[in-house]
Amino acid sequence: MKKSSIQWLIVLVAILSLVGCAPKAAPFSPPKTTPTQASPKSAAPAPDASMAEWAKVEEAAKKEGKITAFTWGFAGTPGDKIVDVFKNKYGIEIERVTGLTPTLIERIKTDSAAGRYVVDLFDAAPSSAYALKAAGLTEPMAAQLPVLKEKGVYSREPFWDTEGHMVLNSGSGYGIGINTKLVPPGQEPKSWRELLDPKWTGKVVFASPTTAPDLINLYVVKEKLGLDDNYFRQLGKQARVAPTGRDAAGLLSRGETYIWIPGSSSMAAPMVMEGAPIKLLTPSEGAVHAGGTTMVRIKNAPHPNATRFFMNWLLTAEGNKIISDARGSMPARKDFPNPQPEAARLNWDKGVYQQIEDVMAISKIQTEKTLSKIMSVE
C-alpha cells in the first residue's frame, strides 16, 4: 500500500473515533427569542367626522322621503328630468308647486304667520329669494352644505348674502337678443346705447318692469354700464312692451320683432336648441351677470334633511350638470363644459356682476314701480 493511502486511512479512523465519543445532540427546536417590534405600517385613515355626519343627514333625508318646493327653476319638462334623476337615485320625492312668484311668496308668508309649515324649498330669481330672506322666513345654509368645501370650481360665489341663505344653483346672463333672420350680419347693434338709434324704433321689445324683473336687472347696474335714467326714459318711448320675458322672447323667435332686451342666456338657450333664429350679443359696455336660479330653505321646513341633501346635490358636479343640461342654463360650476349653444352664450371678459346690494334694489324697484314710472310703461 502506498504511503499516502496509509496516511488518509489513519486520519479517517481518528475522525470516526471522535464522532463516537461525542454526546448525542438534542432534538432541534427553534431558539426562543423575544419578537422584535414590526415596522409600522401605513394605517387606514380614521373616518372623517364630517363624512360620518353627512351620512347621517343622507339617512335622515331618505327617511323623510319628500320635499315640497315652491318653484320656478324646477318647473316643466326640464324640472321633470332633474327631480326624476334625484328620486331614482335617492328615493326622495319632490312635490312641486308652481305659479306666479309673488303669489307663491305671499302664500309662504301667510302660512308661516298662521304657524302652518308646509314648504321646504323656494327657488326663483335672486330678488324673489331675497324677499323671503328679508321677511325672516329662511334658514342660513352656508355651513350646512359640504359641497362648498370644493374650492375654485364655482363660476362665482354660490351665496349672494354673507349669512349664506341664498344659494345659487345656476348662472344667468343678459345681453342683446336678435332675430338672425331680420338683423343682417354686420348690422347688429354693438352697444346698449346704440338701441336708441331711430332705426330701431318699434323694433325692440322688453318685458314690463311692472310684472318682470328682466329690465330691472339691467337698471340696477346702469352706472357700471355708463347708462342713466334718461337712457331708460328714451327707451320707453321707442320700444315695445311684453308682459313677461318669455313673451318677449317668443315675439323675437317668431320674427315679430328684431331685438329683445335684455336677452336672457338661460331663456334663449333652449329656444336656440329647438331651432329658433335667436342670437345673443355681448354689448361693448358689457353683459350683465345676474346670478341665476336662487334657492332658500324655508324656516321650520317639515323636511329639513331632505331639503339640505337636495340643495347640496344640486351644487355637486353631477347634479349641476343635470340642471344645466336639462334647462340649458349657465352652470354654477366651471369644472365641466357649458352645455349652452354658442348662439346663447355671452362674453364675460367685460361682464358686469350684480352684487347683493343690486338684488336688494331689484325687489324695491319692482315693488315701488320705480322703473315703470321712469319709462311710463305698465
Q: How far apart are CA 62 and CA 277, in angstroms?
A: 44
**Pairwise pLDDT comparison (218 vs 102), residue with the higher score:** 218
Answer yes or no: is pLDDT of 23 > 80: no
Q: Which DSSP string corresponds to 152-219? A: S-BSS-SBSSTT---EE-EE-EEEEEEETTTS-TT-S--SSGGGGSGGGTTSEEEE-TTT-SHHHHHH
Residue 253 DSSP code: H
Q: Which amino acid is at 337?
A: P
Structural domains in the chain plus CATH codes: 54-168+294-328 (3.40.190.10), 173-290+358-375 (3.40.190.10)
C-alpha cell of residue 41:
405600517
Which backbone phi and psi does 74 adopt, to 5 degrees?
-110, 25
Q: How confident is the model at residue 48 (pLDDT cuts 50, 70, 90)?
A: low
Q: What mean pLDDT is predicted for residues 164-174?
A: 92
Under DSSP, the state recorded for 29 is: -
| Distance in angstroms (rounded) separating the CA atoms of residues 11 and 158 | 97
Q: Look at residue 121 and give its three-state secondary structure.
A: strand
pLDDT of residue 3: 44
Residue-level pLDDT at 35: 37
Query: Cell for 83?
Result: 327631480
Kindly report the average pLDDT of the chain as a whole number: 87
Query: How far is it, in rounded angstroms, from Cα 234 to Cα 250?
Result: 24
Alpha helix positions (H), 224-303: 229-238, 245-253, 265-273
pTM surpassing 0.85?
Answer: no
Residue-level pLDDT at 191:
97
Q: What is the pLDDT of residue 145?
A: 94
Q: What is the pLDDT of residues 84-95, one digit of tens each?
A: 999 999 999 999
pLDDT over 70, % of the chain:
87
How many Cβ atoms from other residues are within 10 Å of residue 152's Cβ? 6
- The model's confidence at residue 24, banded by pLDDT at 50, 70 and 90, is very low
Residues 209-250: pLDDT tens digits?
998 889 999 999 999 999 999 999 999 999 999 999 999 999
Which residue, among 138, 135, 136, has the nearest Cα to 119 in the 3D structure?
138
Listed in sequence order, the residues at least 6 apart from 327 whose beta carbon sits closer than 8 Å to its beta carbon are 73, 78, 82, 170, 266, 269, 270
Q: Which long-range contacts (CB under 8 A, 24 or more apart) does 117-120 make?
A: 117/298, 117/299, 117/300, 117/301, 117/302, 118/68, 118/302, 119/68, 119/69, 119/70, 119/298, 119/301, 120/67, 120/68, 120/69, 120/297, 120/298, 120/301, 120/302, 120/303, 120/304, 120/306, 120/307
Q: Which amino acid is at 72?
A: W
Q: What is the mean pLDDT of residues 178-184?
A: 97
The tens digit of pLDDT for each residue in 182-203 reads 999 999 999 999 999 999 999 9
pLDDT at 18: 38
CB contact at 8 A, 212 and 365:
no
